[in-house]
Structure 1
Protein backbone atom coordinates (compact mmCIF):
# COMPACT_ATOMS: atom_id res chain seq x y z
CA UNK A 1 0.00 0.00 0.00
CA UNK A 2 0.97 3.62 -0.40
CA UNK A 3 -0.49 7.01 0.43
CA UNK A 4 -0.59 10.11 -1.76
CA UNK A 5 0.21 13.36 0.07
CA UNK A 6 -1.00 16.51 -1.73
CA UNK A 7 -0.72 20.11 -0.57
CA UNK A 8 -0.69 23.50 -2.27
CA UNK A 9 0.01 26.83 -0.58
CA UNK A 10 1.79 30.17 -0.95
CA UNK A 11 5.11 30.86 0.77
CA UNK A 12 4.56 33.64 3.36
CA UNK A 13 6.57 36.84 3.09
CA UNK A 14 8.09 36.10 6.51
CA UNK A 15 10.11 33.27 4.90
CA UNK A 16 12.25 35.68 2.88
CA UNK A 17 15.81 34.33 2.80
CA UNK A 18 14.95 31.00 4.44
CA UNK A 19 15.99 27.64 2.99
CA UNK A 20 13.46 25.72 0.90
CA UNK A 21 13.29 22.73 3.28
CA UNK A 22 13.02 24.98 6.35
CA UNK A 23 10.21 26.93 4.71
CA UNK A 24 8.22 23.79 3.89
CA UNK A 25 8.72 22.44 7.42
CA UNK A 26 7.24 25.67 8.77
CA UNK A 27 4.38 25.69 6.24
CA UNK A 28 3.49 22.03 6.77
CA UNK A 29 4.33 21.23 10.41
CA UNK A 30 2.50 17.88 10.26
CA UNK A 31 5.54 16.42 8.50
CA UNK A 32 9.09 16.12 9.76
CA UNK A 33 11.86 18.11 8.12
CA UNK A 34 13.68 14.91 7.12
CA UNK A 35 10.57 13.60 5.34
CA UNK A 36 10.09 16.93 3.54
CA UNK A 37 13.73 16.84 2.44
CA UNK A 38 13.18 13.35 1.01
CA UNK A 39 10.24 14.65 -1.03
CA UNK A 40 12.30 17.57 -2.35
CA UNK A 41 15.20 15.34 -3.40
CA UNK A 42 12.77 12.90 -5.03
CA UNK A 43 11.35 15.67 -7.22
CA UNK A 44 7.95 15.55 -5.56
CA UNK A 45 7.72 19.29 -4.79
CA UNK A 46 7.11 22.09 -7.29
CA UNK A 47 7.68 25.83 -6.90
CA UNK A 48 5.73 28.03 -9.33
CA UNK A 49 4.91 24.87 -11.36
CA UNK A 50 8.57 23.81 -11.68
CA UNK A 51 10.23 20.94 -9.82
CA UNK A 52 12.83 22.17 -7.32
CA UNK A 53 15.23 19.54 -5.90
CA UNK A 54 17.63 21.81 -3.99
CA UNK A 55 16.71 21.86 -0.25
CA UNK A 56 19.09 24.81 0.37
CA UNK A 57 17.50 27.09 -2.24
CA UNK A 58 16.52 30.44 -0.72
CA UNK A 59 12.88 31.57 -0.74
CA UNK A 60 11.63 35.10 -1.45
CA UNK A 61 8.03 34.78 -0.28
CA UNK A 62 4.98 34.64 -2.53
CA UNK A 63 6.02 31.47 -4.40
CA UNK A 64 3.31 28.86 -4.94
CA UNK A 65 4.45 25.52 -3.54
CA UNK A 66 2.82 22.23 -4.52
CA UNK A 67 3.56 18.87 -2.90
CA UNK A 68 2.67 15.64 -4.71
CA UNK A 69 4.36 12.95 -2.66
CA UNK A 70 3.90 9.20 -2.55
CA UNK A 71 4.63 7.53 0.78
CA UNK A 72 5.51 3.88 0.33
CA UNK A 73 4.43 1.32 2.89
CA UNK A 74 7.01 -0.57 4.90
CA UNK A 75 6.39 -4.14 3.72
CA UNK A 76 9.23 -5.79 5.60
CA UNK A 77 7.05 -7.06 8.42
CA UNK A 78 4.20 -9.55 8.32
CA UNK A 79 0.72 -8.61 9.59
CA UNK A 80 -0.36 -11.03 12.33
CA UNK A 81 -3.70 -11.47 14.07
CA UNK A 82 -2.58 -10.77 17.64
CA UNK A 83 -5.26 -9.44 20.04
CA UNK A 84 -4.92 -5.87 21.31
CA UNK A 85 -6.35 -4.49 24.56
CA UNK A 86 -7.59 -1.11 23.29
CA UNK A 87 -8.13 1.59 25.92
CA UNK A 88 -8.92 4.44 23.50
CA UNK A 89 -9.17 4.91 19.76
CA UNK A 90 -10.07 7.58 17.22
CA UNK A 91 -9.08 8.16 13.60
CA UNK A 92 -5.65 9.57 14.60
CA UNK A 93 -4.37 7.68 17.65
CA UNK A 94 -4.68 4.41 19.49
CA UNK A 95 -3.96 3.77 23.18
CA UNK A 96 -3.40 0.17 24.27
CA UNK A 97 -2.74 -1.65 27.52
CA UNK A 98 0.23 -3.86 26.62
CA UNK A 99 0.28 -7.31 28.25
CA UNK A 100 3.33 -9.03 29.68
CA UNK A 101 5.41 -10.94 27.13
CA UNK A 102 4.51 -8.83 24.08
CA UNK A 103 7.57 -7.44 22.29
CA UNK A 104 6.90 -3.99 20.80
CA UNK A 105 9.05 -4.09 17.65
CA UNK A 106 10.61 -6.95 15.64
CA UNK A 107 14.31 -7.43 16.22
CA UNK A 108 17.00 -10.03 16.76
CA UNK A 109 15.34 -13.08 18.25
CA UNK A 110 11.86 -11.62 17.75
CA UNK A 111 11.17 -11.46 13.99
CA UNK A 112 7.40 -11.63 14.48
CA UNK A 113 4.70 -11.95 17.12
CA UNK A 114 5.21 -8.32 18.09
CA UNK A 115 2.96 -5.30 18.62
CA UNK A 116 4.05 -3.95 15.24
CA UNK A 117 2.91 -7.16 13.52
CA UNK A 118 -0.43 -6.85 15.32
CA UNK A 119 -0.88 -3.21 14.27
CA UNK A 120 -0.25 -4.08 10.61
CA UNK A 121 -3.02 -6.69 10.80
CA UNK A 122 -5.66 -4.63 12.61
CA UNK A 123 -4.85 -1.35 10.79
CA UNK A 124 -3.45 -2.14 7.29
CA UNK A 125 -3.33 1.58 6.42
CA UNK A 126 -0.82 2.13 9.24
CA UNK A 127 1.92 0.61 7.08
CA UNK A 128 2.66 4.03 5.58
CA UNK A 129 3.33 5.53 9.01
CA UNK A 130 6.97 5.20 10.19
CA UNK A 131 7.40 2.20 12.54
CA UNK A 132 3.66 1.52 12.15
CA UNK A 133 2.95 4.51 14.38
CA UNK A 134 4.99 3.36 17.38
CA UNK A 135 6.47 6.45 19.06
CA UNK A 136 7.70 4.94 22.35
CA UNK A 137 8.31 1.47 23.72
CA UNK A 138 7.84 -0.71 26.76
CA UNK A 139 10.11 -3.64 27.54
CA UNK A 140 8.76 -7.08 26.67
CA UNK A 141 7.78 -7.89 30.26
CA UNK A 142 6.66 -4.40 31.30
CA UNK A 143 2.89 -3.97 31.13
CA UNK A 144 0.74 -0.92 30.63
CA UNK A 145 -0.18 2.05 28.46
CA UNK A 146 1.24 2.96 25.07
CA UNK A 147 0.08 5.50 22.49
CA UNK A 148 0.32 4.73 18.77
CA UNK A 149 -0.15 7.15 15.87
CA UNK A 150 -2.47 6.04 13.06
CA UNK A 151 -1.50 8.83 10.63
CA UNK A 152 1.72 10.56 9.60
CA UNK A 153 0.72 13.99 11.02
CA UNK A 154 -0.23 12.37 14.35
CA UNK A 155 3.08 10.50 14.42
CA UNK A 156 5.10 13.64 13.65
CA UNK A 157 3.38 15.61 16.41
CA UNK A 158 3.62 12.82 19.00
CA UNK A 159 7.34 12.36 18.34
CA UNK A 160 7.87 16.10 18.78
CA UNK A 161 5.82 16.11 21.99
CA UNK A 162 7.88 13.22 23.32
CA UNK A 163 11.11 15.07 22.54
CA UNK A 164 9.77 18.22 24.25
CA UNK A 165 8.76 16.13 27.31
CA UNK A 166 5.12 17.08 26.87
CA UNK A 167 3.87 13.50 27.30
CA UNK A 168 3.53 12.38 30.92
CA UNK A 169 4.10 8.71 31.78
CA UNK A 170 3.73 7.31 35.28
CA UNK A 171 4.57 3.79 36.41
CA UNK A 172 4.01 1.59 39.44
CA UNK A 173 6.76 -0.70 40.64
CA UNK A 174 7.79 -2.94 43.53
CA UNK A 175 11.40 -2.31 44.53
CA UNK A 176 13.64 -4.37 46.76
CA UNK A 177 14.51 -2.79 50.11
CA UNK A 178 12.66 -0.31 52.30
CA UNK A 179 12.77 3.23 50.95
CA UNK A 180 12.08 5.94 53.51
CA UNK A 181 11.01 8.71 51.11
CA UNK A 182 10.67 9.66 47.48
CA UNK A 183 13.28 11.42 45.41
CA UNK A 184 14.86 11.94 42.01
CA UNK A 185 17.48 9.92 40.20
CA UNK A 186 19.40 12.21 37.84
CA UNK A 187 22.06 10.00 36.29
CA UNK A 188 23.03 9.63 32.60
CA UNK A 189 22.37 6.26 30.97
CA UNK A 190 24.33 4.64 28.15
CA UNK A 191 25.19 1.25 26.75
CA UNK A 192 26.97 -1.04 29.25
CA UNK A 193 30.72 -1.06 28.60
CA UNK A 194 31.02 -4.87 28.37
CA UNK A 195 27.44 -6.26 28.27
CA UNK A 196 26.17 -4.82 25.02
CA UNK A 197 22.54 -5.87 25.52
CA UNK A 198 22.36 -3.98 28.81
CA UNK A 199 22.27 -0.33 29.82
CA UNK A 200 24.10 1.31 32.72
CA UNK A 201 24.62 4.62 34.45
CA UNK A 202 27.57 6.15 32.62
CA UNK A 203 29.18 9.59 32.59
CA UNK A 204 29.22 9.39 28.76
CA UNK A 205 25.53 8.41 28.62
CA UNK A 206 22.53 10.55 27.74
CA UNK A 207 20.82 12.70 30.40
CA UNK A 208 18.22 10.63 32.27
CA UNK A 209 15.86 11.73 35.06
CA UNK A 210 13.41 9.58 37.04
CA UNK A 211 11.13 10.91 39.79
CA UNK A 212 9.75 8.48 42.37
CA UNK A 213 7.55 8.55 45.48
CA UNK A 214 6.67 5.92 48.04
CA UNK A 215 3.14 4.51 47.93
CA UNK A 216 3.48 1.72 50.48
CA UNK A 217 6.24 0.17 52.59
CA UNK A 218 6.62 -3.52 53.33
CA UNK A 219 9.14 -5.33 55.49
CA UNK A 220 11.78 -5.66 52.79
CA UNK A 221 10.12 -4.05 49.77
CA UNK A 222 8.59 -0.75 48.67
CA UNK A 223 5.74 0.04 46.31
CA UNK A 224 6.59 3.07 44.17
CA UNK A 225 5.00 5.53 41.78
CA UNK A 226 7.50 6.78 39.21
CA UNK A 227 7.41 9.50 36.58
CA UNK A 228 9.79 9.65 33.63
CA UNK A 229 11.25 12.99 32.65
CA UNK A 230 13.28 11.32 29.90
CA UNK A 231 12.74 8.00 28.13
CA UNK A 232 15.94 5.97 27.90
CA UNK A 233 16.07 2.23 27.32
CA UNK A 234 15.47 0.36 30.62
CA UNK A 235 15.57 3.73 32.42
CA UNK A 236 13.54 2.90 35.54
CA UNK A 237 15.16 -0.51 35.91
CA UNK A 238 18.68 0.92 35.60
CA UNK A 239 18.03 3.89 37.89
CA UNK A 240 16.45 1.80 40.65
CA UNK A 241 19.29 -0.70 40.51
CA UNK A 242 21.77 2.21 40.59
CA UNK A 243 20.37 3.42 43.93
CA UNK A 244 20.47 -0.19 45.26
CA UNK A 245 16.71 -0.71 45.05
CA UNK A 246 16.30 -2.95 41.97
CA UNK A 247 12.83 -4.02 40.90
CA UNK A 248 11.41 -7.32 42.09
CA UNK A 249 11.77 -10.02 39.45
CA UNK A 250 14.10 -8.04 37.17
CA UNK A 251 16.10 -10.77 35.40
CA UNK A 252 18.80 -8.37 34.21
CA UNK A 253 19.28 -5.69 36.87
CA UNK A 254 17.62 -7.24 39.91
CA UNK A 255 19.76 -10.00 41.31
CA UNK A 256 18.40 -12.79 43.50
CA UNK A 257 15.00 -12.58 45.29
CA UNK A 258 15.15 -11.03 48.75
CA UNK A 259 12.38 -12.51 50.93
CA UNK A 260 11.76 -11.06 54.40
CA UNK A 261 12.48 -13.16 57.47
CA UNK A 262 9.69 -15.57 58.47
CA UNK A 263 7.78 -14.88 55.26
CA UNK A 264 4.78 -17.08 54.49
CA UNK A 265 5.30 -19.95 52.02
CA UNK A 266 2.95 -18.17 49.59
CA UNK A 267 5.04 -15.00 49.60
CA UNK A 268 8.28 -16.97 49.24
CA UNK A 269 6.87 -18.84 46.25
CA UNK A 270 5.57 -15.63 44.66
CA UNK A 271 8.89 -13.80 45.00
CA UNK A 272 10.85 -16.74 43.61
CA UNK A 273 8.46 -17.28 40.70
CA UNK A 274 8.09 -13.61 39.74
CA UNK A 275 10.27 -13.83 36.64
CA UNK A 276 9.66 -10.37 35.22
CA UNK A 277 10.34 -6.85 36.45
CA UNK A 278 7.47 -5.65 38.66
CA UNK A 279 6.83 -2.57 36.52
CA UNK A 280 3.57 -1.30 35.04
CA UNK A 281 2.85 1.83 32.96
CA UNK A 282 -0.20 2.97 34.93
CA UNK A 283 -0.90 6.47 33.59
CA UNK A 284 -0.45 8.27 30.28
CA UNK A 285 -1.31 11.93 29.70
CA UNK A 286 -0.86 14.03 26.56
CA UNK A 287 -2.33 16.70 24.34
CA UNK A 288 -4.05 15.10 21.37
CA UNK A 289 -1.67 15.47 18.40
CA UNK A 290 -4.40 16.79 16.10
CA UNK A 291 -7.14 18.38 18.24
CA UNK A 292 -4.91 19.64 21.05
CA UNK A 293 -7.30 18.28 23.69
CA UNK A 294 -5.66 17.22 26.96
CA UNK A 295 -6.27 13.51 27.51
CA UNK A 296 -5.37 11.12 30.33
CA UNK A 297 -5.71 7.35 30.66
CA UNK A 298 -5.18 4.91 33.54
CA UNK A 299 -4.56 1.17 33.42
CA UNK A 300 -5.28 -1.14 36.35
CA UNK A 301 -2.44 -3.25 37.70
CA UNK A 302 -2.15 -6.72 36.12
CA UNK A 303 -3.15 -9.79 38.13
CA UNK A 304 0.35 -10.98 39.02
CA UNK A 305 1.24 -7.50 40.30
CA UNK A 306 -1.92 -7.33 42.44
CA UNK A 307 -1.24 -10.79 43.90
CA UNK A 308 2.29 -9.75 44.88
CA UNK A 309 1.02 -6.59 46.61
CA UNK A 310 -1.65 -8.54 48.53
CA UNK A 311 0.93 -11.07 49.78
CA UNK A 312 3.29 -8.29 50.86
CA UNK A 313 0.45 -6.53 52.69
CA UNK A 314 -0.52 -9.78 54.39
CA UNK A 315 3.10 -10.31 55.42
CA UNK A 316 3.09 -6.83 57.00
CA UNK A 317 -0.05 -7.60 59.01
CA UNK A 318 1.10 -11.04 60.19
CA UNK A 319 4.46 -9.79 61.38
CA UNK A 320 3.03 -6.65 62.99
CA UNK A 321 0.72 -8.97 64.96
CA UNK A 322 3.64 -11.24 65.97
CA UNK A 323 5.66 -8.24 67.12
CA UNK A 324 2.71 -7.01 69.19
CA UNK A 325 2.25 -10.43 70.85
CA UNK A 326 5.95 -10.72 71.65
Structure 2
Protein backbone atom coordinates (compact mmCIF):
# COMPACT_ATOMS: atom_id res chain seq x y z
CA UNK A 1 0.00 0.00 0.00
CA UNK A 2 0.96 3.68 -0.16
CA UNK A 3 1.11 6.27 2.61
CA UNK A 4 2.47 9.74 3.28
CA UNK A 5 5.82 9.43 5.04
CA UNK A 6 7.61 12.25 6.87
CA UNK A 7 11.17 11.86 5.55
CA UNK A 8 12.58 14.15 8.23
CA UNK A 9 11.28 17.07 10.29
CA UNK A 10 10.78 20.16 8.16
CA UNK A 11 8.58 22.13 5.79
CA UNK A 12 5.73 20.57 3.78
CA UNK A 13 8.18 19.32 1.15
CA UNK A 14 9.30 16.53 3.50
CA UNK A 15 5.97 14.74 3.00
CA UNK A 16 6.30 11.91 0.48
CA UNK A 17 3.64 9.58 -0.97
CA UNK A 18 5.45 6.26 -1.13
CA UNK A 19 5.06 2.51 -0.80
CA UNK A 20 5.00 1.17 2.77
CA UNK A 21 4.23 -2.22 4.39
CA UNK A 22 0.57 -3.27 4.29
CA UNK A 23 -1.56 -2.49 7.32
CA UNK A 24 -3.35 -5.39 9.02
CA UNK A 25 -6.09 -5.58 11.64
CA UNK A 26 -4.94 -6.98 14.98
CA UNK A 27 -7.21 -8.25 17.76
CA UNK A 28 -9.97 -5.72 18.48
CA UNK A 29 -9.13 -3.72 15.36
CA UNK A 30 -10.77 -3.07 12.01
CA UNK A 31 -8.91 -2.57 8.74
CA UNK A 32 -10.35 0.34 6.77
CA UNK A 33 -9.74 1.10 3.11
CA UNK A 34 -9.36 4.87 3.24
CA UNK A 35 -11.60 7.08 1.12
CA UNK A 36 -10.33 10.30 2.68
CA UNK A 37 -8.41 11.78 5.58
CA UNK A 38 -8.33 15.31 6.96
CA UNK A 39 -5.53 17.73 7.76
CA UNK A 40 -5.19 18.92 11.36
CA UNK A 41 -2.78 21.28 13.14
CA UNK A 42 -1.40 18.26 14.99
CA UNK A 43 -0.27 16.82 11.64
CA UNK A 44 1.70 20.00 11.00
CA UNK A 45 3.31 19.79 14.43
CA UNK A 46 4.23 16.15 13.81
CA UNK A 47 5.74 17.05 10.43
CA UNK A 48 7.87 19.72 12.11
CA UNK A 49 9.12 17.19 14.67
CA UNK A 50 7.27 18.63 17.69
CA UNK A 51 4.49 16.07 18.18
CA UNK A 52 5.55 12.43 18.15
CA UNK A 53 2.84 9.76 17.82
CA UNK A 54 2.02 7.93 21.07
CA UNK A 55 3.72 4.54 21.62
CA UNK A 56 2.36 1.88 19.31
CA UNK A 57 0.64 4.33 16.95
CA UNK A 58 1.31 4.52 13.22
CA UNK A 59 4.21 6.83 12.30
CA UNK A 60 2.25 8.29 9.38
CA UNK A 61 0.26 11.50 9.95
CA UNK A 62 -3.53 11.63 9.93
CA UNK A 63 -5.86 11.66 12.95
CA UNK A 64 -9.16 10.87 11.22
CA UNK A 65 -10.40 9.01 8.16
CA UNK A 66 -13.47 7.81 6.34
CA UNK A 67 -13.72 4.70 4.22
CA UNK A 68 -15.02 1.15 3.98
CA UNK A 69 -14.22 -1.77 6.25
CA UNK A 70 -11.88 -4.20 4.47
CA UNK A 71 -11.32 -6.74 7.27
CA UNK A 72 -12.26 -7.42 10.89
CA UNK A 73 -9.71 -8.38 13.52
CA UNK A 74 -10.22 -11.10 16.08
CA UNK A 75 -12.98 -10.38 18.58
CA UNK A 76 -14.64 -7.52 16.68
CA UNK A 77 -18.43 -7.54 16.53
CA UNK A 78 -21.10 -5.12 15.41
CA UNK A 79 -19.41 -4.27 12.12
CA UNK A 80 -19.29 -5.95 8.70
CA UNK A 81 -16.88 -5.88 5.78
CA UNK A 82 -18.08 -3.18 3.39
CA UNK A 83 -19.60 -0.92 6.06
CA UNK A 84 -19.00 2.79 5.42
CA UNK A 85 -17.35 4.32 8.47
CA UNK A 86 -15.33 7.24 9.77
CA UNK A 87 -12.92 7.05 12.68
CA UNK A 88 -10.73 8.80 15.20
CA UNK A 89 -7.05 7.77 14.99
CA UNK A 90 -3.81 8.15 16.90
CA UNK A 91 -2.07 8.31 13.51
CA UNK A 92 -1.89 6.68 10.09
CA UNK A 93 -4.75 8.37 8.26
CA UNK A 94 -2.67 9.59 5.31
CA UNK A 95 -2.61 6.12 3.77
CA UNK A 96 -4.55 3.74 1.53
CA UNK A 97 -5.43 1.52 4.48
CA UNK A 98 -5.29 1.86 8.26
CA UNK A 99 -5.95 -0.45 11.23
CA UNK A 100 -8.24 1.16 13.82
CA UNK A 101 -9.40 0.07 17.30
CA UNK A 102 -13.05 -0.88 16.88
CA UNK A 103 -14.12 1.46 19.69
CA UNK A 104 -13.02 4.45 17.62
CA UNK A 105 -15.27 3.70 14.64
CA UNK A 106 -18.41 5.65 13.78
CA UNK A 107 -20.92 5.00 11.01
CA UNK A 108 -21.04 7.62 8.28
CA UNK A 109 -24.05 9.75 9.25
CA UNK A 110 -27.08 9.55 6.97
CA UNK A 111 -27.04 12.46 4.55
CA UNK A 112 -23.25 12.98 4.78
CA UNK A 113 -20.99 11.91 1.89
CA UNK A 114 -18.31 9.31 2.45
CA UNK A 115 -15.43 11.69 1.65
CA UNK A 116 -16.73 14.65 3.67
CA UNK A 117 -17.29 12.36 6.68
CA UNK A 118 -13.48 12.25 7.05
CA UNK A 119 -13.67 15.77 8.48
CA UNK A 120 -15.97 14.84 11.36
CA UNK A 121 -14.34 12.53 13.95
CA UNK A 122 -11.53 14.72 15.28
CA UNK A 123 -13.55 17.92 15.50
CA UNK A 124 -16.69 16.26 16.87
CA UNK A 125 -14.75 14.33 19.53
CA UNK A 126 -12.63 17.36 20.47
CA UNK A 127 -15.59 19.72 20.79
CA UNK A 128 -17.87 17.27 22.58
CA UNK A 129 -15.25 16.13 25.11
CA UNK A 130 -14.00 19.63 25.90
CA UNK A 131 -17.00 21.93 25.59
CA UNK A 132 -19.75 19.64 26.84
CA UNK A 133 -18.27 16.74 28.85
CA UNK A 134 -15.51 18.63 30.67
CA UNK A 135 -16.60 22.24 30.14
CA UNK A 136 -20.24 21.49 30.96
CA UNK A 137 -21.70 24.07 28.57
CA UNK A 138 -25.44 24.45 29.18
CA UNK A 139 -28.31 26.10 27.37
CA UNK A 140 -28.41 29.82 28.06
CA UNK A 141 -24.68 30.10 28.81
CA UNK A 142 -22.27 32.22 26.77
CA UNK A 143 -19.61 30.39 24.76
CA UNK A 144 -16.52 31.75 22.99
CA UNK A 145 -14.42 29.75 20.52
CA UNK A 146 -11.16 31.13 19.17
CA UNK A 147 -10.49 30.48 15.49
CA UNK A 148 -14.14 30.32 14.52
CA UNK A 149 -13.35 29.61 10.86
CA UNK A 150 -11.27 26.51 11.59
CA UNK A 151 -12.51 22.94 11.51
CA UNK A 152 -12.83 22.95 15.30
CA UNK A 153 -14.40 26.40 15.28
CA UNK A 154 -17.06 25.68 12.68
CA UNK A 155 -18.13 22.53 14.55
CA UNK A 156 -18.04 24.24 17.97
CA UNK A 157 -20.23 27.11 16.77
CA UNK A 158 -22.85 24.75 15.37
CA UNK A 159 -22.95 22.39 18.35
CA UNK A 160 -23.04 25.14 20.97
CA UNK A 161 -25.87 26.85 19.11
CA UNK A 162 -27.74 23.55 18.68
CA UNK A 163 -27.63 23.02 22.45
CA UNK A 164 -28.98 26.48 23.21
CA UNK A 165 -25.87 28.49 24.09
CA UNK A 166 -25.12 32.07 23.08
CA UNK A 167 -22.12 31.80 20.73
CA UNK A 168 -19.27 34.20 19.93
CA UNK A 169 -16.00 33.54 18.12
CA UNK A 170 -12.79 35.20 17.00
CA UNK A 171 -11.73 35.36 13.35
CA UNK A 172 -9.06 37.03 11.22
CA UNK A 173 -11.04 38.08 8.13
CA UNK A 174 -14.40 39.55 7.19
CA UNK A 175 -15.16 36.49 5.05
CA UNK A 176 -14.66 34.18 8.02
CA UNK A 177 -16.79 36.44 10.21
CA UNK A 178 -19.66 36.24 7.74
CA UNK A 179 -19.46 32.44 7.47
CA UNK A 180 -19.35 32.05 11.25
CA UNK A 181 -22.43 34.20 11.68
CA UNK A 182 -24.19 32.03 9.08
CA UNK A 183 -23.32 28.97 11.19
CA UNK A 184 -24.86 30.49 14.30
CA UNK A 185 -22.35 32.84 15.93
CA UNK A 186 -24.06 35.90 17.39
CA UNK A 187 -20.83 37.88 17.02
CA UNK A 188 -17.55 37.20 15.20
CA UNK A 189 -14.79 39.37 16.67
CA UNK A 190 -11.99 40.23 14.22
CA UNK A 191 -8.91 39.84 16.43
CA UNK A 192 -6.89 42.12 14.12
CA UNK A 193 -9.19 45.05 14.90
CA UNK A 194 -11.04 44.31 18.15
CA UNK A 195 -10.67 42.67 21.58
CA UNK A 196 -12.88 39.72 22.50
CA UNK A 197 -12.67 40.63 26.20
CA UNK A 198 -15.07 43.51 25.60
CA UNK A 199 -17.91 41.16 24.67
CA UNK A 200 -17.66 38.82 27.67
CA UNK A 201 -18.02 37.50 30.24
CA UNK A 202 -17.97 33.92 28.91
CA UNK A 203 -19.05 30.79 30.73
CA UNK A 204 -16.94 28.51 28.52
CA UNK A 205 -14.00 29.40 26.25
CA UNK A 206 -12.45 26.94 23.79
CA UNK A 207 -8.90 28.13 23.11
CA UNK A 208 -6.34 26.97 20.55
CA UNK A 209 -3.82 29.74 21.23
CA UNK A 210 -2.43 28.93 24.67
CA UNK A 211 0.02 31.41 26.15
CA UNK A 212 -0.80 34.38 23.92
CA UNK A 213 -4.44 34.53 25.03
CA UNK A 214 -4.18 33.15 28.56
CA UNK A 215 -4.37 36.43 30.51
CA UNK A 216 -7.24 37.84 28.41
CA UNK A 217 -9.11 34.54 28.49
CA UNK A 218 -8.99 34.49 32.30
CA UNK A 219 -9.95 38.17 32.45
CA UNK A 220 -13.04 37.54 30.34
CA UNK A 221 -14.31 34.42 32.16
CA UNK A 222 -17.59 34.69 34.02
CA UNK A 223 -17.94 33.63 37.65
CA UNK A 224 -17.66 29.86 37.56
CA UNK A 225 -16.27 30.05 34.03
CA UNK A 226 -14.29 27.27 32.35
CA UNK A 227 -11.34 27.82 30.01
CA UNK A 228 -10.56 24.81 27.82
CA UNK A 229 -7.07 24.99 26.27
CA UNK A 230 -6.62 22.57 23.34
CA UNK A 231 -3.77 24.17 21.37
CA UNK A 232 -0.55 26.12 21.68
CA UNK A 233 -0.47 28.14 18.46
CA UNK A 234 0.33 31.22 20.55
CA UNK A 235 3.00 29.60 22.71
CA UNK A 236 3.26 27.25 25.68
CA UNK A 237 4.35 29.46 28.60
CA UNK A 238 2.54 32.40 30.21
CA UNK A 239 1.82 33.82 33.66
CA UNK A 240 -1.45 32.67 35.22
CA UNK A 241 -3.22 35.03 37.63
CA UNK A 242 -4.45 32.57 40.27
CA UNK A 243 -6.09 35.36 42.24
CA UNK A 244 -8.31 36.14 39.27
CA UNK A 245 -9.33 32.49 39.10
CA UNK A 246 -10.03 32.41 42.84
CA UNK A 247 -12.20 35.53 42.72
CA UNK A 248 -14.24 34.05 39.89
CA UNK A 249 -14.19 30.46 41.15
CA UNK A 250 -13.11 29.65 37.60
CA UNK A 251 -11.12 26.78 36.10
CA UNK A 252 -8.48 26.28 33.42
CA UNK A 253 -8.31 22.84 31.77
CA UNK A 254 -5.61 21.84 29.28
CA UNK A 255 -6.46 18.67 27.36
CA UNK A 256 -5.42 16.58 24.37
CA UNK A 257 -7.14 13.69 22.64
CA UNK A 258 -4.46 11.78 20.75
CA UNK A 259 -2.61 10.04 23.60
CA UNK A 260 -5.64 9.11 25.73
CA UNK A 261 -6.13 5.42 26.61
CA UNK A 262 -8.29 3.39 24.23
CA UNK A 263 -11.16 3.10 26.71
CA UNK A 264 -11.33 6.89 27.16
CA UNK A 265 -11.36 7.44 23.41
CA UNK A 266 -14.03 4.79 22.97
CA UNK A 267 -16.20 6.49 25.60
CA UNK A 268 -15.87 9.86 23.84
CA UNK A 269 -16.67 8.29 20.46
CA UNK A 270 -19.74 6.58 21.93
CA UNK A 271 -20.95 9.88 23.40
CA UNK A 272 -20.44 11.63 20.06
CA UNK A 273 -22.46 8.92 18.31
CA UNK A 274 -25.25 9.39 20.85
CA UNK A 275 -25.36 13.18 21.03
CA UNK A 276 -23.81 14.61 17.85
CA UNK A 277 -24.69 12.10 15.12
CA UNK A 278 -28.48 12.69 15.41
CA UNK A 279 -27.88 16.41 14.82
CA UNK A 280 -25.87 15.62 11.69
CA UNK A 281 -28.53 13.26 10.39
CA UNK A 282 -31.24 15.88 10.95
CA UNK A 283 -29.11 18.51 9.18
CA UNK A 284 -28.92 20.77 12.24
CA UNK A 285 -25.11 20.40 12.18
CA UNK A 286 -23.02 19.75 9.08
CA UNK A 287 -19.39 19.21 8.16
CA UNK A 288 -17.78 22.33 6.72
CA UNK A 289 -15.25 21.42 4.03
CA UNK A 290 -13.05 24.08 2.46
CA UNK A 291 -11.56 21.85 -0.24
CA UNK A 292 -10.44 18.32 -1.05
CA UNK A 293 -7.05 17.45 -2.55
CA UNK A 294 -5.59 14.09 -3.64
CA UNK A 295 -3.69 12.27 -0.87
CA UNK A 296 -0.45 12.54 -2.84
CA UNK A 297 -0.77 16.36 -2.58
CA UNK A 298 -0.56 16.38 1.21
CA UNK A 299 2.29 18.89 1.07
CA UNK A 300 0.07 21.44 -0.67
CA UNK A 301 -2.71 20.76 1.84
CA UNK A 302 -0.28 21.51 4.68
CA UNK A 303 0.75 24.77 2.99
CA UNK A 304 -2.88 25.80 2.72
CA UNK A 305 -3.57 24.96 6.36
CA UNK A 306 -0.54 26.94 7.55
CA UNK A 307 -1.62 29.95 5.45
CA UNK A 308 -4.89 29.94 7.46
CA UNK A 309 -7.04 31.13 4.59
CA UNK A 310 -9.36 28.13 4.74
CA UNK A 311 -12.80 27.88 6.34
CA UNK A 312 -13.61 24.48 7.84
CA UNK A 313 -11.67 21.34 6.98
CA UNK A 314 -9.10 20.54 4.29
CA UNK A 315 -9.50 16.92 3.18
CA UNK A 316 -7.21 14.45 1.39
CA UNK A 317 -8.99 11.94 -0.82
CA UNK A 318 -7.57 8.43 -1.21
Task: Give me the TM-score of the superposition, normalised by structure 2.
Answer: 0.27
Task: Give me the TM-score of the superposition, normalised by structure 1.
Answer: 0.27
Bigger Rg over Cα: 1
Greater fraction helix: 2
Q: Which has the higher contact order (CA 8 A, sep 6+)?
A: 2
